[in-house]
Structure 1
């Protein structure tokens, strides 16, 4: 005799309670429903991990970075042209899995409502690549996922797409409706702080070594610490988030010291290729 779906669901719930059926576990044995998302965790070159996107999600990351190239009308993911492989598209590696997650989690990437950033680093021609990306984001299959700008206002949704690399700023600024935003540069005074517009530039990023000499060895120079805090203060006053790349990422005391300084300064996104290392650090410093 066939059992109804309701009866089957009830039996599974009872078996779970008595320990005969286990719920799916994520990294380090954490239950998926109890995983605490990490607001500062950014997966640099996320696509280089064995399971792009999924490895970062298993650690609770809330920001991932994908480099894209426009090749024969497709957006292929990889750092350099020689790294590109047919089938490894932005759609396959990121958009489709995110769509499935958001549908499963009732409108959010994680079971609990958490902001999530997809940082898309354009490696090929800015305008033609963005035109292809814009068309993809607007597809009815995906458009409901993304934060959007329309009629002077931003509507936040499950995923916010921010463009880095070759960014067609003028094209973005001229659009009356768009599903992508601009990653500004900290050294550009028009991008950072109260003179900028977070509706276009919600994120400002820069190369750490372009702005600071300290790489975690010895004391953090007082002047550089003050400069870091001022950058964060100016960005936050304008409603912007802050990220640095080229920070030390080799396990050891220097990396730990620098990560600690970034957290203390309230930097929004900490860049890493070591997913478990940063996740462990952030959970230990809560």
Structure 2
């Protein structure tokens, strides 16, 4: 995702600068600040990122440029967890993601990674009460407007962080807004609808709903052709493409599937294994 040119402070590249900023805002997080020397990897998406020991920070240490947070609206708060019974007080969208990202981008002169001109994708998966949850997400994101990508009618004003709404997505409500701080995550049938990329920057779907091959043996020619056609259609319309439910157990099958996805130009490779995907992508270079 390209960015408008920015002016960087000479101190922006120093991890110490970010540590000082975070220590004033988030004392606990400052002690675990990413080193700041990870190479940003365009295709690296951290699925269920919040389940790692250090949500967001572990992903940034491994160069990930997209992270996923599942949110539940509970008593007016956006709590981050995969299942309702796992929500915990204090583990909010703000504390785990937005506050650290604001501190980091301020320390890095407007970027998530020092000197990087990309935009970190924050995929927010709504787990309950779609319209009510989105309304609260929208209210919260406006408090972080300085770092967020803005969506206005047919234009996108890119910021250091781009929020995209997945899960229980209230499409009509989002389409009714003249100014949004989040895009809409579409599904493969949406490729044929002509939906503007300024509303739907991302299209995601379940791999197993559309493909039989899961990495064992050669990929069937017809499935490879279909995959490349989907990528071409998505990119022609200005969308990024992601699949979930791809094999994630380390081994030849996973590597084979990742190889096909990367070769086809799929924009985000989905994983819980941060080190595994980082090493795979760096090896391809």
TM-score band, normalised by the shorter chain?
A: 0.7 to 0.9
| Per-residue deviation, 1:74 | 0.4
Residues 53-64 of structure 1: pairs in structure 2 closer than 5 A? 53-64=56-67
2:236 is aligned to 237
1:280 is aligned to 279
1:223 is aligned to 222
CA displacement, residues 215-239 of structure 1 (integer Å, 9 cap, x when unaligned): 0000100000000000000000011
Residues 13-52 of structure 1: pairs in structure 2 closer than 5 A? 32-33=36-37, 35-52=38-55
Paired residues of 2:154 and 2:196 also in contact (CA < 8 A): no
* Cα RMSD, aligned residues only: 1.7
2:187 is aligned to 185
Where do 4+ consecutive residues of structure 1 move more than 4 Å? 24-27
Paired residues of 1:42 and 1:61 also in contact (CA < 8 A): yes
CA displacement, residues 169-217 of structure 1 (integer Å, 9 cap, x when unaligned): 011111001101100001x2xx215722101101000000000000000
| Per-residue deviation, 1:153 | 1.5
- 1:100 aligned onto 2:94: no
Structure 1 residues without counterparts, runs of 5 or longer: 1-11, 13-23
**Number of residue pairs aligned between Structure 1 and Structure 2:** 255
Query: What SS does the corresponding residue of 1:144 show, helix, strand or coil?
Result: coil
d(CA) in 2 for partners of 1:81 and 1:196?
32
1:128 is aligned to 132
2:83 is aligned to 80
Asked which structure has the greater CA Rg, the reply is 1
d(CA) in 1 for partners of 2:60 and 2:80?
18
Structure 2 residues without counterparts, runs of 5 or longer: 1-15, 17-30
Query: What SS does the corresponding residue of 2:214 show, helix, strand or coil?
Result: coil
Q: Which structure ranks higher in relative contact order (CA pairs < 8 Å, sequence separation ≥ 6)?
A: 2
When residues 181 and 224 of structure 1 are mapped into structure 2, their CA distance, relative to the original with a 3 A threshold, is: same
When residues 26 and 161 of structure 1 are mapped into structure 2, their CA distance, relative to the original with a 3 A threshold, is: closer
TM-score of the pair, normalised by structure 2: 0.87
